[in-house]
């Protein structure tokens, strides 16, 4: 069976830990692995600019003894002629390469590619959605620097709204049982759909955070603490000002993702900045400073030589962890058996596309992509786009077999098979599709 890496959720914790072990081996002797993937080829399909991700993947493949095909500027490829992503990956995976590394501006693009590719697809970033290999790299750095991830307190700071790196990292930290302190640039808070998914899938509860111990870095931020602890447990450690930050194990800074800003965001005249004065805060005494790079001015160069600053080491460690990932997906090393059930999705077969995200691949390539959804909750009925993870927008939910529609809170919907669900924006659309309001008591 072909394994893809679309989301960090595609790997179990046991598989991630096994990849760490292999990455440790490759780190010790990076030049001694030239027989691991000899004769194999990786194709880099990058529809967006990249330096570290693309070069680290290509370095990893070359160190494994394989070859690389690079399409670093896809606007000069057949995509400029209107070729769909689905067709591109079928061609490239049909004989050109043994694995595809894809970066694309549309959210959910990697999920689409995985549906059509005959070879493994690795998501190297899809819009503002996810960046799972950067997350693997980040987790590996915590593994190297701290020896464990469970129980760590990690601060995520800066643009948390558009940073796909932060979104993937937050999901992974939650799975490993780490505490997440969100310190956003004002106006660029963690998206609600990310917070809701953390709650639904990982049992994470958001509470207000008191971050005075971070000093000026968090002076203007409305901070939030995301923890796997339950509210009654957390109440033991909080007061009216919120959960008090004590000690930080890692501080993860992000740049403003200006290439993804919409018109309503405008410019950022004063972006948060980490400097030597901030690093003097008692809570950061033992914290490592991380950054996915590239940076702008959010980390002052005067702390580059601080032994707590590991962002250049962090980038370098991307090569051995990607060597481990490539070897695994191409079947050259074995990982523990993943018994996690695959996430099921179903096509939106009737009506308009209910995904509200204009950057979703289901909107940017509508001629080639049938909208799909996954169920987040049965009561009330909540569904997400299977490509970009945004919650679908609808007022009513219909049943294709009965021809009736219900409010999302209706208990009757629990009996409807997912493939028979129809998402309706209003009564007018319901009438157009010949649905009538359910007449059973309590269902209207």
CB 425 within 8 A of CB 394: yes
Residue 427 has pLDDT above 50, yes or no: yes
pLDDT tens profile 69-111: 998 666 545 554 468 999 999 999 999 999 999 999 999 999 9
Tokens of 181: 């302190």
> What pLDDT, on a 0 to 100 scale, did the predictor assign at position 220?
73
Please, how many CA atoms are within 13 Å of residue 292, restricted to the half-sphere of its CB? Answer: 30
Q: Which of 256, 244, 240 is nearest to 179 (CA)?
A: 244
The kind and range of the H/E element at 25 are helix 13-28
**DSSP states along 179-227:** EEEEEEPTT-PPPHHHHHHHHHHH--EEEEEE-GGGGGGGTT---EEEE
> What pLDDT, on a 0 to 100 scale, did the predictor assign at position 232?
45
Tokens of 8: 């960090």
Q: Which residues pair with 250 in a beta bridge?
A: 154, 288
Integer Cα distance of 53 and 202 in angstroms? 28
> What pLDDT, on a 0 to 100 scale, did the predictor assign at position 436?
94
Q: What is the mean pLDDT of residues 156-175?
A: 91
286 CB-near residues (< 8 Å, 6+ apart): 247, 248, 249, 308
Residue 322: how many CB atoms within 10 A of its CB? Answer: 30
**Percent of residues, the chain, with pLDDT higher than 70:** 91
DSSP structure class, residue 34: T
DSSP structure class, residue 435: -
| Strand 67-71 with 41-46, pairing | parallel
Among the ranges 10-19, 186-195, 288-297, 336-345, which has the highest mean pLDDT value?
Answer: 10-19
Q: What is the mean pLDDT of residues 353-367?
A: 93
Supply the mean pLDDT for the chain. 88
CB 154 within 8 A of CB 249: yes
> What pLDDT, on a 0 to 100 scale, did the predictor assign at position 91?
95
> What pLDDT, on a 0 to 100 scale, did the predictor assign at position 236?
47
> What pLDDT, on a 0 to 100 scale, did the predictor assign at position 260?
66
| Strands, sheet with 67-71, edge to edge from the N-terminal-most edge strand | 67-71, 41-46, 99-104, 121-126
What Rg, from alpha-carbon coordinates, does the chain have? 23
How far, CA to CA in Å, does 378 sit from each of 235, 381, 410? Answer: 29, 4, 9
Query: Where are the chain's structural domains?
Result: 8-132+318-329, 146-309, 346-437
CB 206 within 8 A of CB 294: no
337 CB-near residues (< 8 Å, 6+ apart): none
Band (315; pLDDT cuts 50, 70, 90): very high
Q: What is the mean pLDDT of residues 132-140?
A: 95
Tokens of 365: 């390539």
Q: What is the mean pLDDT of residues 131-151?
A: 94
Q: Which of 125, 200, 201, 198 is nearest to 163 (CA)?
A: 125
Residue 231 has pLDDT above 90, yes or no: no
Band (267; pLDDT cuts 50, 70, 90): low
Residue 263 has pLDDT above 80, yes or no: no
The answer to whether domain 146-309 and domain 346-437 are alike in fold is: no
The more confident residue out of 174 and 234 is 174
How far, CA to CA in Å, does 157 sit from each of 73, 147, 256? Answer: 31, 23, 10
CATH class of 8-132+318-329: alpha beta
The kind and range of the H/E element at 157 are strand 153-158
| Sign of the C-alpha dihedral computed for residues 131, 133, 134 and 140 taken in this order | positive
CB 16 within 8 A of CB 7: no
Integer Cα distance of 199 and 182 in angstroms? 15
pLDDT tens profile 394-422: 999 999 999 999 999 999 999 999 999 99
Residue 221 has pLDDT above 80, yes or no: no
> What pLDDT, on a 0 to 100 scale, did the predictor assign at position 230?
53
> What pLDDT, on a 0 to 100 scale, did the predictor assign at position 441?
45
Q: What is the mean pLDDT of residues 279-283?
A: 86
CATH 3.40.50.300 applies to domain 346-437? no
Residue 234 has pLDDT above 80, yes or no: no
Q: Determine the 3-state secondary structure of 46 from DSSP.
A: strand
Residue 112: how many CB atoms within 10 A of its CB? Answer: 29
> What pLDDT, on a 0 to 100 scale, did the predictor assign at position 134?
93
Band (137; pLDDT cuts 50, 70, 90): very high
* CA angle in degrees (0–180, nearest 5) for 401-403-409: 95
Integer Cα distance of 198 and 192 in angstroms? 10
**Percent of residues, the chain, with pLDDT higher than 90:** 62
Band (224; pLDDT cuts 50, 70, 90): confident
420 CB-near residues (< 8 Å, 6+ apart): 399, 400, 401
How far, CA to CA in Å, does 214 sit from each of 47, 65, 83, 434? Answer: 38, 46, 49, 58
Residue 148 has pLDDT above 60, yes or no: yes
Integer Cα distance of 149 and 387 in angstroms? 28
Q: Which fold has domain 146-309?
A: Rossmann fold (3.40.50)
């Amino acid at each position: 069976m072909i394994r893809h890496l679309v989301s960090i959720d595609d790997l179990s914790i046991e598989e991630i830990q096994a990849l760490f072990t292999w990455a440790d081996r490759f780190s010790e002797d990076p030049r001694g692995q030239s027989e691991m993937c000899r004769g194999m080829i990786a194709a880099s399909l990058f529809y967006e600019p990249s330096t570290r991700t693309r070069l680290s993947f290509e370095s990893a493949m070359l160190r494994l003894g394989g070859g690389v095909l690079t399409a670093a500027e896809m606007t000069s490829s057949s995509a400029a002629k209107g070729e769909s992503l689905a067709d591109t990956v079928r061609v490239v995976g049909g004989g050109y390469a043994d694995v595809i590394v894809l970066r694309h501006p549309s959210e959910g693009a990697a999920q689409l590619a995985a549906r059509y590719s005959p070879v493994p697809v690795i998501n190297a970033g899809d819009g503002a959605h996810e960046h799972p290999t950067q997350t693997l790299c980040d987790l590996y750095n915590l593994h190297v620097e701290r020896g464990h991830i469970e129980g760590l307190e990690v601060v995520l700071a800066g643009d948390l709204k558009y940073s796909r790196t932060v979104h993937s990292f937050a999901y992974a930290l939650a799975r490993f049982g780490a505490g997440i302190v969100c310190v956003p640039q004002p106006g660029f808070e963690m998206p609600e759909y990310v917070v809701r998914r953390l709650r639904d899938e990982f049992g994470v509860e958001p509470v207000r955070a008191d971050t005075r111990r971070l000093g000026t870095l968090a002076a203007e931020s409305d901070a939030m603490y995301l923890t796997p602890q339950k509210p009654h447990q957390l109440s033991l450690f909080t007061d009216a000002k919120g959960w008090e930050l004590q000690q930080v194990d890692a501080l993860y800074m992000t740049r403003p993702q200006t290439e993804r800003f919409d018109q309503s965001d405008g410019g950022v005249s004063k972006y948060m900045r980490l400097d030597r004065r901030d690093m003097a805060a008692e809570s950061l005494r033992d914290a490592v400073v991380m950054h996915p790079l590239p940076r702008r001015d959010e980390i002052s160069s005067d702390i580059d030589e601080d032994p707590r600053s590991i962002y250049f080491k962090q980038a370098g460690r991307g090569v051995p962890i990607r060597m481990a990932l490539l070897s695994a997906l191409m079947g050259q090393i074995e990982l523990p058996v993943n018994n996690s059930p695959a996430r099921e999705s179903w096509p939106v077969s009737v009506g308009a596309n209910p995904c509200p995200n204009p950057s979703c691949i289901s909107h940017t390539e509508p001629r080639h992509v049938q909208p799909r959804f996954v169920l987040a909750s049965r009561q009330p009925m909540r569904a997400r786009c299977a490509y970009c993870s945004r919650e679908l927008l609808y007022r009513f939910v219909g049943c294709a077999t009965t021809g009736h529609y219900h409010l999302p809170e209706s208990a009757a919907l629990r009996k409807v098979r997912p493939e028979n669900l129809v998402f309706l924006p209003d009564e007018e659309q319901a009438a157009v599709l010949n649905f009538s309001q359910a007449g059973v008591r309590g269902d209207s």
